Structure 1
Amino acid sequence: MNRSAPLAAGLALLCLAGCVSASVPWRHPTVPREQWSQDYSSCRRQAERESGWRDEDNTSPSAFREYDRQRAKRQADGSLALCMTDLGYVPASRSEPDRR
């Protein structure tokens, strides 16, 4: 039983690290890291306004039919990506590892 405690702690740390790194899935080579989340939030709000999509709005099935929800989600994702790209960001999966 004592061996499972370090394993559980390690898994919890991995999950926490995954949440932190996934919060801003974009990287910019010259913009300070502190600015990344602000730009991402701004682009996400703009995309939600344009598409009508709200990630938190999934509790009300009558708000969107499933097809409309999926279409609005795709539109929001595309708008968000366009906004971030226009600001000079690249998706984290395509950028080099962060060496700061």
Structure 2
Amino acid sequence: MKRFALPMICLMLPACAATSVPWTNPDVPKEEWSRDYSGCRRYADRDVGWRDDDRDTGSVFRDYDRHQAKKRYDAVLAACMIDRGYVPISRKKE
């Protein structure tokens, strides 16, 4: 059993450490993508103040407010990344 524990841990570590960045910029080294994405996420969080939590579910007004805040957060995040020269990976320029 112990023989399998070490290989499993080694396989799982890269998955935990790797941050998926759904944006690309050919002019910036890949090592910087994660920092830019994190910076834009922090900026959007400060600007919108939205946090994904499960408290107060069941309230129609709370759900609507959360939905609107999430849309605003996503828009601010996207604008920040676009301002830095990134393109969403799903719409990558060829």
Q: Normalising to structure 2: TM-score of the pair?
A: 0.71
What letter is aligned with 1:94? R
- Aligned-residue RMSD, C-alpha: 2.6
Give the Cα–Cα distance (whole angstroms) in 2 for the partners of residues 34 and 45 of structure 1. Answer: 18
Gaps of 5+ in 2: 1-14
The partner residue of 1:69 within 60, 66, 70 is: 66
1:96 deviation in Å? Answer: 4.9
Partner of 1:49: 46
Give the Cα–Cα distance (whole angstroms) in 2 for the partners of residues 70 and 49 of structure 1. Answer: 17
Partner of 1:40: 37
Deviations 1:36-70 (A, max 9, x none): 01000100111011111123xx13227x8111100
The partner residue of 2:82 within 77, 82, 85 is: 85
Aligned residues with identical type, % of pairs: 55
Structure 1: which 4+ aligned runs deviate by more than 4 Å? none
What letter is aligned with 2:89? A
Gaps of 5+ in 1: 1-15
Give the Cα–Cα distance (whole angstroms) in 1 for the partners of residues 27 and 37 of structure 2. Answer: 15
What letter is aligned with 2:90? S
